[in-house]
């Protein structure tokens, strides 16, 4: 829908600006989600910009996983890579000229200066201040006041960076939609470099210039940027730009901890039981489906992980929404449409929220169970095919998949869980040794009963669940035993597992031949 009647200057425009790292961080998704919801709610635009000023990386390759991640999650962007827009390019590297012009303008207006300090000279100053335990204030001794001074420095063989000539009095007041009013003394700020000696520009300058050019109205980002805000405000005001509205979100913290969730700390998270369980669950699915499991992208910090093992995008969005936001403390389930209507920055919490794999999984389980049967079948199918459980296009095995998914019901929490029921499909399946000992080896009558039961089973004309139930119950009556005395052994013998969906549905889906053969294999051993 276009809003031609609304002037562009009043438009709500938000952005998410990932660096091309090759993966989409779950915390980044949360930040992007809040930006996206805020824009969508207001009928505004959500823009994707790639902050690729770090040269030498293969950008195209490294942004693909990020773009794919957003697409999979259903978070469309109104302007950005692949979709274009009126402010192209959407790659920071392609906007270098704009940044350089801004830097020149700042020097021109006296808000920045050429600084001819050599890196070690400057560092020496900084270290001296540190050693003396006094706040470092650069005395600007290598600042070029004018072209003549610059020429003199250059005659010495020096090269210049451009530094901000930051105020040293007063306060920078940030009105933040999440944190309220934040005041920072200008004196505590440094003369930050905005342009390198080689002429390339640094992030803060680029970011401010691009946000202005893109007409970003609300800068919604993670709180680690709060301390960067004063310098950005100085840049933007010096350039005569209008100040965007700021909202600094708490970051997503590590499971069971309070520091920022980082993919570099995977080893540490592995010690967290819930995180390790999720990881292991995913790895099992991935290995059997031939999915690459490089630690770089295949782990619960990265969105790809969830896509690969069959999570539902909406469940992830819903869970992430609650990481730092709540409607009223009661309601937790929201469709994407609902969250778009109900989200508000005012209700974002201030404290970091730690990532809880268990709750994510609970949301996922509910979301998956709520899907219509056909969708659950469609979602599990690729996993069944990839792991060799069924053959694509083979009507018989596909029919079996449908039966299993239906019978499994909410025991399937993620699509990849279909592999838990591999014994329904294939000949080779794992036997749970503990269950075998408990239900077959230990009870003295187990093998004998199984040996007897296989006779009427083999003779059965109908091998559907209802008929099987009748058959087994009749058998128990004839033998004068409780159903519990045979059914556990039956399950372990035919599935190898102590748990699963209904016994009779299980037998029906396994089929007479296999079921009887499995019983024989056990009872005759």
Partner RNA sequence: GGCCCCUUCGUCUAGCGGUCUAGGACACCGCCCUUUCACGGCGGCGACACGGGUUCGAGUCCCGUAGGGGUCACCA
Residue 54 makes contact with RNA by CB under 7 A? yes
What is the 3 state secondary structure string of 154-208?
Answer: HHCCCCCEEEECCCCCCEEEEEECCCEEEEEEHHHCCCCEEECCCCCECHHHHHH
Residue 244 makes contact with RNA by CB under 7 A? no
Separation between Cα atoms, residue 517 and residue 525, nearest integer Å? 12
Beta bridge partners of 157: none
Residue 140 makes contact with RNA by CB under 7 A? no
C-alpha distance across the termini of the chain, in Å: 70
Site for RNA in 207-226 (CB under 7 A): 223-226
Q: What letter would DSSP give residue 229?
A: H
Task: Considering the complex, state which of residue 262 and residue 293 has its C-beta at the smaller distance from RNA.
Answer: 262
Structure tokens at 288: 């059997």
Site for RNA in 10-29 (CB under 7 A): 19
**Of 294, 323, 307, 278, which is closest to residue 32 (Cα–Cα)?**
323
* 504 membership: H or E segment, kind and range: helix 503-510
Separation between Cα atoms, residue 146 and residue 114, nearest integer Å? 9
Residue 501 makes contact with RNA by CB under 7 A? yes
Task: Specify the stretch interacting with RNA by CB under 7 A; choose among 100-108, 149-157, 211-219, 245-253.
Answer: 245-253
Site for RNA in 448-477 (CB under 7 A): 469
| E strands, 26-160, in order | 45-48, 112-115, 143-144
* 385 membership: H or E segment, kind and range: helix 373-386
Q: How far is the CB of 304 from RNA (least distance, A)?
A: 19
Residue 126 makes contact with RNA by CB under 7 A? yes
Site for RNA in 315-344 (CB under 7 A): 322-326, 328-330, 332
Given 10, 109, 175, 227, the residue binding RNA (CB under 7 A): 227
Task: Considering the complex, state which of residue 87 and residue 398 has its C-beta at the smaller distance from RNA.
Answer: 87
Distances (CA, A) of 330 to 319, 325, 333, 334: 14, 12, 10, 12
Distance from the Cα of residue 519 to its chain's centroid:
45
Given 41, 228, 340, 441, the residue binding RNA (CB under 7 A): 228
Residue 118 makes contact with RNA by CB under 7 A? yes
Given 161, 164, 405, 471, the residue binding RNA (CB under 7 A): 161
Residue 169 makes contact with RNA by CB under 7 A? no
User: Which residue among 263, 381, 400, 413 is the active-site one?
Assistant: 263
Total site size for RNA, rule CB under 7 A: 81
Residue 198 makes contact with RNA by CB under 7 A? yes
Task: Considering the complex, state which of residue 52 and residue 304 has its C-beta at the smaller distance from RNA.
Answer: 52
Task: Specify the stretch interacting with RNA by CB under 7 A; choose among 57-65, 77-85, 115-123, 209-217.
Answer: 115-123
Residue 141 makes contact with RNA by CB under 7 A? no
263 is annotated as an active-site residue? yes
Task: Considering the complex, state which of residue 88 and residue 394 has its C-beta at the smaller distance from RNA.
Answer: 88
Structure tokens at 116: 């001819």
């Amino acid at each position: 829908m276009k809003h031609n009647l609304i002037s562009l200057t009043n438009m709500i425009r938000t952005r998410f600006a990932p660096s091309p790292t090759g993966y989409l961080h779950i915390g980044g998704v949360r930040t992007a989600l809040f930006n996206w919801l805020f824009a969508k709610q207001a009928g505004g635009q959500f823009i994707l910009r790639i902050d690729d000023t770090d040269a030498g990386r293969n950008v195209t390759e490294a942004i693909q996983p990020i773009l794919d991640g957003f697409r999979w999650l259903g978070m469309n962007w109104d302007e950005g890579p692949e979709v274009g827009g009126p402010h192209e390019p959407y790659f920071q590297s392609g906007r270098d000229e704009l940044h350089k012009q801004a830097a020149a303008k700042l020097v021109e207006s006296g808000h920045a200066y050429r600084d001819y300090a050599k890196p070690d000279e400057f560092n020496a100053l900084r270290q001296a201040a540190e050693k003396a335990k006094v706040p470092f204030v650069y005395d600007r001794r290598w600042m070029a006041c004018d072209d003549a001074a610059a020429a003199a420095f250059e005659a010495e063989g020096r090269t210049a960076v451009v530094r901000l000539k930051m105020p040293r009095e007063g306060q920078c007041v940030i009105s933040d939609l999440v944190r309220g009013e934040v005041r920072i003394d200008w004196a505590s700020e440094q003369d930050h470099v905005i342009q390198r000696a080689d002429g390339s520009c640094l992030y803060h300058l680029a970011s401010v210039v691009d946000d202005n050019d893109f007409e970003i109205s609300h800068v919604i980002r993670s709180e680690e940027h709060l301390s960067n805000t004063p310098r950005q405000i100085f840049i933007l005001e010096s350039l005569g730009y209008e100040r965007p509205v700021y909202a600094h979100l708490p970051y997503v913290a590590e499971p069971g901890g309070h520091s920022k969730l980082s993919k570099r700390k995977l080893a540490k998270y592995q010690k967290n039981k819930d995180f390790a369980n999720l990881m292991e669950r995913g790895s099992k699915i991935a290995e059997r489906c031939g999915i690459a499991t490089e630690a770089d992208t295949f782990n619960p910090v990265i969105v790809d992980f969830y896509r690969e093992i069959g999570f539902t995008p909406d469940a992830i969005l819903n869970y992430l929404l609650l990481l730092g936001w709540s409607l009223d403390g009661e309601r937790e389930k929201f469709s994407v449409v609902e969250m778009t209507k109900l989200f508000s920055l005012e209700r974002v919490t201030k404290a970091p929220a730690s990532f809880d794999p268990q709750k994510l999984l609970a949301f996922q389980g509910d979301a998956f169970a709520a899907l219509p049967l056909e969708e659950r079948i469609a979602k599990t199918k690729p996993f069944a095919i990839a792991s060799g459980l069924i053959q694509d296009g083979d009507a018989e095995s596909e029919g079996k998949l449908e039966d299993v998914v239906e019978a499994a019901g909410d025991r399937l929490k993620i699509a990849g869980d279909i592999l838990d029921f591999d014994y329904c499909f294939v000949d080779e399946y794992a036997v749970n040794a503990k269950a075998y000992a408990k239900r077959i080896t230990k009870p003295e009558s187990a093998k004998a009963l199984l040996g007897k039961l296989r006779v009427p089973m083999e003779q059965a004309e109908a091998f559907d669940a209802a008929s099987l139930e009748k058959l087994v119950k009749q058998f128990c009556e004839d033998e004068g035993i409780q159903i519990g005395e045979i059914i556990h052994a039956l399950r372990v013998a035919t599935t190898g597992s102590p748990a699963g969906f209904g016994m009779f549905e299980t037998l029906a889906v396994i089929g007479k031949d296999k079921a009887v053969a499995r019983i024989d294999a056990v009872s005759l051993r």
